Amino acid sequence: MPLPKLLYTTTFRLSVLFLIVYGLTAVMALGYIYWNTNVLLIRQLNQTVQAEIQGLAEQYRQGGINVLARTIAERSQAPGISIYLVTDKNGQHIAGNLKSVSQQLWDTVGDVRFSYKRNVSTDTSETRQAFAKTFRLPNGYRLIVGRDIEDRHIFSQVITTVFWGLSFMTLIGLSGGWLVSRNLLSRIDRITAASQTIMNGHLSERIPVQGSHDELDRLSVNLNDMLDKIENLMNGLREVSDNIAHDLKTPLNRMRNRVEAALRDHNGTEKNIYRDALQATIDDADFLIKTFNALLSIAQMEAGSTKNTLLQIDLVPVVRDIAELYEPVIEEHGMELSVDMQGSVMVHADRQLLGQAIANLLDNAIKYGVSGKRIDTKEQPRIFLAIEQKDRFAHIMVADHGPGIPQSDLERVLERFVRLEQSRSLPGNGLGLSLVAAIVRSHRGEFRLEDNQPGLKATIRLPLL
């Protein structure tokens, strides 16, 4: 992965910013504590050592070298961090727990820092840091009083360690941020790549989903659902334009041929040739207009233009009106309509559109519900129309005992212009069920075709109010 791109990711920037703020705060706090403690300790050390030296110098003035030597020998016995040494003018050890004096120590007057060896046990010694003041007594004697500051040294070492620890943490933080960003970036890159592919026309491509159920996954799933919908619409559109080309061109062509044939007959030898041709042309035009209207209705329904016309209505009178409208024609076709509904069933619907949907289903039942093998031939073929309330949904069912639709075609017949072989001979434009499906969809309902064993059962499912 190219580094610059990584540097621009939000995660990486955030982690860097966080690390900088956090690191700076920690370093500043540590530094402050270290510096303050140091100053305080040195001052304290200075003061105690100074006081002790003055005390010892006083003893020398009053009692001479012997008294001083004894006091120092006594104090050296006490355990602790104090360092003492008294030498003669040649640097010879007279008393004190510091065994020898280095050149550096000998040359300096006043404050000095030095390292010395101290016995830890009988045969091992270690080098330790110390701070001391040297003082020249009269007659060439030297007095050195100091304190072991190895502990303070250790403190500074701890601070240094903590600092390195912090640096290490920063490094880990940075690499963590880098890793997270890289992971995120690679996922975003995959999403971008997928959308590029889709934009290039591969509509069936989908955005990868990791399965981690995180926010990116949820976004991807949502985008994929949207793509499904878009793909469906696009496929619908493609199919429709193909079908329109076929199903509208055919009658147009037929119309044209008929007019041409009539015109070829110059003398009008056949008696009514013009009249018949014109009448047939009007019939063809009417068929085309009906097809065109149905197509437009479907398109408008799918564009969501019905939203404003949905009202709270009772389904029962709507269905009853349609049943009453169709009953005579059903009987005319030698069938019987049995209606089963009661009470009131309130839904959000457009009476006109829903009425049309039910009418279309009844039209179909009349057309296809009669032929086919009936078990009891004496019984009149029936069309069933019913409303049921189930699970917060209203089910409007139109069923017949006709030949039905083969299982494999149940989905397909809802598509525009699809007409099954068996129905080719009957009038129709193959849009009836598509229109029903579009109407039901615009009502946020569900439309299903099922095997009625035998026959077809169409169900419109609408959410109850």
Partner 1 sequence: MRILVIEDDLETSAFLTKALKESGHVAEAKHDGESGLNAAREGTYDVLVVDRMLPKQDGLSLIATLRAENVVTPVLILSALGEVDDRIKGLRAGGDDYLTKPYSYSELLARVEVLARRIKPEEVQMQYAIADLTLDRLAHKVTRAGETILLQPREYRLLEYLMKYAGQVVTRTMLLENVWDYHFDPQTNVIDVHISRLRSKIDKNFDTPLLHTIRGAGYMISDATS
Binding residues for partner 1, rule: CB under 8 A, are 282, 285-286, 289-290, 293, 296-297, 300, 305-306, 308-309, 321-322, 324-326, 328-329, 332, 350, 352-353, 355-356, 359-360, 362-363, 366-367, 427-428, 432
Residue closest to 106 by CA, chosen among 88, 126, 82, 118: 88
Q: How far is the CB of 348 from partner 1 (least distance, A)?
A: 15
Closer Cβ to partner 1, 356 or 452, answer by number: 356
HSE, side-chain direction, 13 A CA sphere, residue 316: 9
Closer Cβ to partner 1, 83 or 385, answer by number: 385
What angle do the packed helices 351-368 and 315-332 form, to 10 degrees? 30
- DSSP per-residue letters across 59-104: HHHHHHHHHHHHHHHHHHHS-SSEEEEEE-TT--EEESS-----HH
Q: How far is the CB of 257 from partner 1 (least distance, A)?
A: 21
Bridge partners (DSSP) listed for residue 461: 395, 446
Going along 299-436, which residue ranges are E strands? 311-314, 336-340, 346-349, 382-390, 393-400
Closer Cβ to partner 1, 428 or 454, answer by number: 428
Q: How far is the CB of 248 from partner 1 (least distance, A)?
A: 14
The residue type of 395 is: H
Closer Cβ to partner 1, 91 or 355, answer by number: 355
Q: How far is the CB of 386 from partner 1 (least distance, A)?
A: 20
Do 68 and 56 contact (CB within 8 A), yes or no?
Answer: yes
Cis preceding linkage at 454, omega within 30: yes
Q: How far is the CB of 461 from partner 1 (least distance, A)?
A: 21
Closer Cβ to partner 1, 69 or 366, answer by number: 366
Do 64 and 79 contact (CB within 8 A), yes or no?
Answer: no
Helix (H, G, I), strand (E, B) or coil at 175: helix
Which sign does the torsion angle of CA 52, 54, 57, 59 carry? Answer: negative
Q: How far is the CB of 444 from partner 1 (least distance, A)?
A: 17
Q: How far is the CB of 353 from partner 1 (least distance, A)?
A: 7
H or E stretch covering 292: helix 273-302
Q: How far is the CB of 440 from partner 1 (least distance, A)?
A: 15
Residue closest to 440 by CA, chosen among 366, 348, 327: 348
Closer Cβ to partner 1, 367 or 448, answer by number: 367
Closer Cβ to partner 1, 100 or 309, answer by number: 309
Going along 304-380, which residue ranges are E strands? 311-314, 336-340, 346-349
Do 198 and 210 contact (CB within 8 A), yes or no?
Answer: no
Closer Cβ to partner 1, 189 or 286, answer by number: 286
Written as six digits, the tokens of 36 are 């303050």
Closer Cβ to partner 1, 33 or 289, answer by number: 289
Closer Cβ to partner 1, 11 or 360, answer by number: 360
CA distances (Å), origin 264, targets 46, 253, 261: 131, 16, 5
Q: How far is the CB of 292 from partner 1 (least distance, A)?
A: 9
Closer Cβ to partner 1, 88 or 324, answer by number: 324
Q: How far is the CB of 438 from partner 1 (least distance, A)?
A: 12
Q: How many CB atoms lie within 10 A of CB 458?
A: 25
Helix (H, G, I), strand (E, B) or coil at 334: coil
What angle do the packed helices 432-442 and 273-302 form, to 10 degrees? 30
Q: How far is the CB of 269 from partner 1 (least distance, A)?
A: 26
